[in-house]
């Protein structure tokens, strides 16, 4: 078969009924601004708003000093992941600025996402994320870190 010049092209139409994405969002300049009760409450508030406005549902999440990890899946009427993450970043920035005088910009322009392919990968990825505060020397055990949780149970169907 002749070489067509295309190497490792992505599949254009991968269909998963209710995909779960692993998302990472980092602060501008990796500034340590997020590990506090004020930001934690705002993050959860905005994720809850995203449920009703955009039909994106957050499962487990971890707020670290300079980045946030979360797992998210869309409902039947959800719009794109980029729109959802962009709105979450926009509103967390507005709320932290208005309510707590944080400087802008809060977030890096980009975010990172990974499509999970199984319940096993969700569990493995969560186990790694859940131990981030321990590896960073912030706590002795993962259970001690106060800025984590689960808003919705996400399942593979």
Question: What mean pLDDT comes out for the span 81-98?
Answer: 95
d(CA 59, CA 20): 9
Contact 128, 23 (CB under 8 A): no
d(CA 61, CA 43): 10
pLDDT-based confidence at residue 152 (cuts at 50, 70, 90):
very high
**pLDDT for 103:** 84
Concatenated DSSP letters of 32-87: ----SHHHHHHHHHHHHHHHHHH-EEEEEEEE-SSEEEEEEEE-TT---HHHHHHH
Domains and CATH numbers, the chain: 20-150 (3.30.70.1290)
**pLDDT for 156:** 77
Q: Could you report the per-residue pLDDT of 73-88, keeping only the tens digit for each? A: 998 888 889 999 999 9
Beta pairing partners, 6:
none
Q: Given a cut of 70, is residue 7 above it in pLDDT?
A: no
Chain-wide mean pLDDT for the chain? Answer: 90
Contact 132, 64 (CB under 8 A): yes
Question: What mean pLDDT comes out for the span 130-141?
Answer: 97
Q: Tokens in use for 90? A: 């926009």
**pLDDT for 76:** 83
Least confident range from 4-8, 91-95, 124-128: namely: 4-8
d(CA 35, CA 13): 38
d(CA 116, CA 88): 21
Q: Given a cut of 80, is residue 115 above it in pLDDT?
A: yes
Q: How far is CA 100 from the centre of its chain?
A: 22
**pLDDT for 128:** 95
d(CA 87, CA 84): 5
Q: Tokens in use for 49? A: 């708003």
Q: Could you report the per-residue pLDDT of 29-54, keeping only the tens digit for each? A: 999 999 999 999 999 999 999 999 99
d(CA 70, CA 63): 8
In the chain, helix, strand, coil percent, each to 5?
40, 20, 40
Which one has a higher pLDDT value, 78 or 112? 112
Q: Given a cut of 60, is residue 6 above it in pLDDT?
A: no
């Amino acid at each position: 078969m002749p070489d067509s010049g295309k190497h490792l092209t992505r599949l254009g139409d991968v269909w998963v009924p209710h995909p779960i994405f692993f998302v990472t969002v980092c602060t501008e300049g990796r500034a340590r601004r997020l590990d506090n009760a004020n930001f934690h409450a705002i993050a959860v508030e905005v994720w809850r708003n995203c449920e009703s406005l955009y039909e994106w549902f957050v499962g487990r999440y971890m707020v670290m000093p300079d980045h946030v990890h979360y797992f998210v899946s869309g409902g039947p009427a959800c719009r794109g992941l980029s729109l959802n993450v962009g709105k979450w970043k926009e509103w967390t920035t507005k709320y932290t600025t208005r309510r707590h005088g944080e400087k802008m910009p809060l977030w890096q322009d980009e975010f990172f996402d990974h499509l999970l392919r199984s319940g096993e990968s969700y569990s493995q990825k969560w186990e790694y994320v859940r131990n981030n505060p321990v590896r960073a020397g912030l706590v002795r055990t993962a259970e001690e870190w106060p800025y984590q949780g689960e808003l919705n149970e996400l399942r593979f169907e």
